[in-house]
Structures are given as C-alpha cells and as structure tokens.
Chain A
Amino acid sequence: DAKTTQPNSMESNEEEPVHLPCNHSTISGTDYIHWYRQLPSQGPEYVIHGLTSNVNNRMASLAIAEDRKSSTLILHRATLRDAAVYYCILGSSYKLIFGSGTRLLVRP
C-alpha cells in the first residue's frame, strides 16, 4: 500500500488561509488522493479527493503536483471549527489506508 507523509502538526490564525502538505512519492497511477479530517470525539469526515487535476468544493481546494508525488489541501479561511487532525490518504474507496495525519491548531 502506498504511504503518505505529513507534518505532525501545523498552526494557523483564524480567517487566514492554511496549506496542508502531503508527500506520496510511491503513488500508483490508479491511486486517488483523499483528504479526511477528524474532529475531537467524532469519526473522520470527508473533505475532498482527486486523481490528477486540482479540485475545489465548498470546504476546501486540493492542489495536486504534476508528477502526483505531492499534494496540498488548502483551507481558504480557517475558522476555530477547522481545528482537527487532517489525513491525507491514497487508495480507492474500498481500501482507504490512513496515514498519521496533521493536527491543525487554529489560533483566535
């Protein structure tokens, strides 16, 4: 199973953009890049996913490098409710293997 590498933690100020990086140098051609987040005492929540092209939705944007060996999750304006562990995951929907994740702290 392909692995992802993420920083253990990041900090941001409220209402500023946040860029969460992820390295996945062993990604295969069929692996999707997924992002989920987990708030305290909750199950993981889907954020966004993509294959090759950059993707946008109401929660975030996903920027994928041209060689697909890295990607960045972009939260355009962080709020206190965005404080969570963010997981970058490779695979298909049947087999999402979570990496260690990045704990995002948002300062008011």
Chain B
Amino acid sequence: DTEVTQTPKHLVMGMTNKKSLKCEQHMGHRAMYWYKQKAKKPPELMFVYSYEKLSINESVPSRFSPECPNSSLLNLHLHALQPEDSALYLCASSQVGQEKLFFGSGTQLSVL
C-alpha cells in the first residue's frame, strides 16, 4: 500500500465554521507534511511532523492547527478561515531521513 489518503476531497466552509482535514497512510512512514497549493501556483510547505512531533511550522497563521494523533494519521483543524485560504491542501509522508515524499490527491477547500 503506497497510498496517502486524504478526506474529504472537497470542502466548502463559512468563515465562522470549524472543520478538519484528515490524512492517513499505512506505509510505516514517521514523517508527515501539510502543503497548501493555490491555483496555478507551486505547493507551499506549511507543517512537518517527525515521530508525531511538530518539527517545522512555516509561520502558518494560528487559524490552522495541525495534529498528529498517531503515526498513521495527520489532521489539520481549521477555524475562522478567510476566503484567501481557499486552496488545495496536500498531505505527504516519507520515511524519516529519506528524500522521497508520497503525496495524497489533496482536499480542495473553498471558504465563503
């Protein structure tokens, strides 16, 4: 199984809503990542978890709150988002110290 599964595939939310994005992998990877991709732009790194601990936060606003409850799961909790936060949110995983990342297909988020 070399898949990274992201749910939901699409999400529409209002600026006052609270929602969560979920990412799951069963490859035994202990590094997991969140990227944000605006239309026609490259992915931008948001967060990196290593051994379930947050190791990189690329100065992401606090309305985005990541969580890694176990080695297979990565969540991104969303609260009080702005319309400019509308984007494709990509999850990835890798072996710690390995250069090959496996990406999911993303969650397309629209904030109204």
Contacts and interface: CB of A to CB of B under 8 A. Distances in A.
A, B bound: yes
Q: How large is the interface on B (under 10, 10 to 19, 20 to 34, 35 or more residues)?
A: 20 to 34
A70 interface: no
A98 B98 contact: no
A95 B92 contact: no
A68 interface: no
Interface in B49-83: 50, 55-56
Q: Is the interface of A mostly helix, strand, loop or mixed?
A: strand
A44 B103 contact: yes
B105 A42 contact: yes
Nearest to B100: A46
Contact of B98 (A87, A93, A99): A93
B42 A99 contact: yes
Interface residues of A, number: 21
A44 to B, nearest CB: 5
Interface centre among A36, A49, A93 (most CB of B within 10 A): A93
A45 B5 CA distance: 14
Nearest to B95: A93
Given A93-B31, A94-B56, A95-B56, A46 B42 contact: no
A55 to B, nearest CB: 11
Given A43-B90, A43-B92, A43-B106, A93 B101 contact: yes
Interface in B95-112: 97-106
A97 B43 CA distance: 8
A98 B44 CA distance: 7
B94 to A, nearest CB: 5
A44 B43 contact: yes
Interface of B: 4, 31, 41-45, 48, 50, 55-56, 90, 92, 94, 97-106
Interface of A: 32, 34, 36, 41-46, 49, 87, 92-101
